[in-house]
Structure 1
């Protein structure tokens, strides 16, 4: 008996072992870029301003054309239970009924250009995401930070459009007609609705000879342009624009005769040519003389 007990005791042994599963971490986009970089020596060739020229210039990521492919058909992840099978069966029945109704409409054939909209093709199967029950098991896993780091944030929009078939400089649609995008122009501060930046006409509503010359020469309102006052105490005097406040639609004009600078609205002056400015800028009563001549013509 003693020998048997000793053999049983020697045959039994107990032990504990802990298995540690090593978790493999995903590489970030930064580490991938560093790993792919060439670590060989780089020699500086020249210095141009704040830019350093070397034998191996760095690649510009902004010039790369990124593409985010469009998901044309979702592959829903089902668990294989009875509810999922029932929902899939209902979807197939609904699609078959829709096809039968489409065929019954008649016609010689189906237009090959007709396509099922992506929103209808990729809609969630019935019974999963409703107002009463929100079941998101069909949805994909949340993307990792690595996925977002692969594409710069300022390239997301164009990358998605390229995935939908858009090409820069090429039109879209059946005729591929290229249409220039409409660029919104900010209205000048203080400019009322219906008003524009066009130069006002003369006192009687008719363009004067000087205004016609300015239009012919395409004179722009900028620093250094010449003008004549239409309103205020300096009316009919000439001056030179020294500054423009586009936010408030005002200009700073240096008067030719007095040398003083006056600030007034852009719509209180009229641009003139350099030829007219050189001829009449030193006149004190040019406006009165012009009106006197007009009165004489009317009297005749």
Structure 2
């Protein structure tokens, strides 16, 4: 498996064509002669490319006619809890978790073209043959009932993936061998995209310099919620931190006990900075998440 302590070597292969042979069946697809069931073609799949007699590179292949904004062969997170980060922990280890993707950005691919494969890992026929190997892969793409979402593929196989390994069929159905493939399309469930990684790190560094580590993490977590739910407007990540600061301050002053009180605080902050009623229909889920953050912050201070 890939050694994450080493520099990851990115590779791309152009004009990769689906062979019609799946590792699962080891049989070619049935002919499209009108008598057989309709052929299933994967929108995305994994394929292995031999390096030598013992090693294979594993590639993710974009088998669609659209360019993918990014391919992230690692976990994406919605919030600090998913990343294993904590409020009130000022350790270097925790700060590394707070930044989410600091150990993975060298494996991020952008603008992955149609029929292009990108290397996501490698396997060794001897060293990896007895181990379960897991891959998390995230790509932005439409869903069955939505024009945009983040697809999360969870692959678990022993020893490797073989020649070709479909991740999602062209009718958006899940291949039977997949652990899971889910399309996250609701604002609350979409993770923080790696495209805002640098902005988010800049915001965190700026907050630490002016307010200290503890308050910086708290405000950053609030800003994550505002960003994910598009509260107020679809501002760049590094422009809503002003409102996040004010929300954090008012939470500490007013000590809300429920999500309704949090909504009033958020509304008041946006009314102050913009026109009255600028932030309409603030999702109750966003208010509940911010309330939980406030409770955790209080427990650590």
Question: Normalised by the size of structure 1, how large is the TM-score?
Answer: 0.20
Structure with the largest fraction of strand: 2
Which has the higher Rg, Structure 1 or Structure 2?
1
Q: Normalising to structure 2: TM-score of the pair?
A: 0.20
Higher relative contact order (CA 8 A, sep 6+): 2
